[in-house]
């Protein structure tokens, strides 16, 4: 049965499995609320999903109208819907796959909107959410976040999230992902900019 693997992020009390990847959140806000909040399993770092998100936004050529319309046609599935997904959910609901990462943006645009999981709460635990990329269509900005926050920081959408001890025996309390920078969509950063703002640039010899 594949239904459990459709769940957008590890359930409370779950053990951390071997296939950890570099987990991340891809989000889009419109009308003050999340319309896309997609959990992703792989390559969440700037040169991975960051590059995918930047490539998508650059491909819009500054015209947000069709994407905005598609985003506003998205809705989050309720518990009854997710509990009743069939074993063939990967064929019937490919947009729910943890493997899509930033490609969820292309998927939503191509379909003109679709039902999705709401994984917005994933950003509140920065041990397992290592990166987040949030497009705010109201402000027309891209928000860039990083994880592994073991002290309160008060920044961004998850800055006031209560600290959590993610698993029994963990010696640290983890808080929400930290807002690193906000970029105007009209002046998109490069992958190198993301790396620099995350403190990842290579030191000069």
Domain boundaries along the sequence of the chain: 21-197
The 10s digit of each residue's pLDDT in 84-122 is 787 778 777 889 889 999 999 999 999 999 999 999 999
176: pLDDT strictly greater than 70 = yes
**Cβ-based burial of 159 (10 A; exposed 0-12, middle 13-18, buried ≥19):** middle
Nearest to 97 by CA among 39, 28, 43, 54: 39
Q: Dihedral through CA 103, CA 109, CA 112, CA 113, nearest 10?
A: 40
pLDDT at 191: 98
Q: Reduce the DSSP state of residue 95 to 3 states and report it.
A: helix
The 10s digit of each residue's pLDDT in 23-50 is 999 999 999 999 999 999 999 999 999 9
What sections of the chain are H helices per DSSP?
Answer: 51-59, 65-72, 79-83, 89-92, 103-111, 191-197
Q: Which residues have C-beta within 8 Å of that of residue 82, sequence separation ≥ 6?
A: 6, 7, 117
Residue 36 and residue 116 in contact, taking contact as beta carbons nearer than 8 Å = yes
DSSP bridge partners of 33: 30
pLDDT at 105: 98
Backbone angles phi, psi at 131, to 5 degrees: -145, 155
CA 133 to CA 35: how far, in whole Å? 14
202: pLDDT strictly greater than 70 = no
Q: Reduce the DSSP state of residue 66 to 3 states and report it.
A: helix
Q: Percent of the chain, pLDDT > 70?
A: 88
Q: Please, what is the end-to-end C-alpha distance for the chain in angstroms?
A: 53
pLDDT at 205: 35
Q: Dihedral through CA 117, CA 120, CA 126, CA 127, nearest 10?
A: -20
Q: Model confidence at 201, in pLDDT bands (50, 70, 90)?
A: low
Question: Higher pLDDT residue, 132 or 200?
Answer: 132
Average pLDDT of the residues of the chain: 88
204: pLDDT strictly greater than 70 = no
Q: What angle, rounded to 10 degrees, do the helices at 103-111 and 65-72 form?
A: 90
CA 79 to CA 199: how far, in whole Å? 39
Q: What is the mean pLDDT of residues 168-191?
A: 95
2: pLDDT strictly greater than 70 = no
């Amino acid at each position: 049965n594949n239904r459990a693997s459709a769940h957008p992020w590890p359930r409370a009390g779950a053990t951390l499995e071997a296939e950890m990847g570099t987990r991340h959140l891809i989000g889009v806000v419109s009308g003050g609320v999340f319309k896309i909040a997609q959990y992703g399993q792989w390559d969440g770092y700037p040169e991975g999903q960051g590059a995918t998100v930047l490539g998508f936004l650059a491909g819009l050529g500054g015209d947000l109208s069709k994407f905005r319309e598609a985003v506003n046609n998205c809705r989050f599935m309720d518990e009854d819907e997710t509990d009743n997904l069939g074993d063939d959910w990967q064929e019937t609901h490919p947009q729910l796959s943890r493997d899509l990462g930033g490609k969820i943006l292309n998927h939503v645009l191509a379909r003109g909107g679709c039902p999705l999981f709401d994984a917005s709460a994933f950003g509140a635990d920065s041990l397992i959410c290592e990166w987040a990329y949030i497009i705010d269509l109201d402000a027309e900005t891209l928000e860039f976040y990083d994880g592994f926050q073991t002290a309160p920081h008060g920044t961004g959408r998850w800055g006031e999230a209560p600290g959590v001890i993610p698993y029994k025996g963990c010696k640290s309390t983890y808080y929400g992902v930290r807002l690193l920078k906000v970029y105007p969509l009209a002046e998109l950063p490069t992958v190198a900019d993301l790396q620099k703002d995350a403190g990842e640039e290579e030191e000069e010899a």
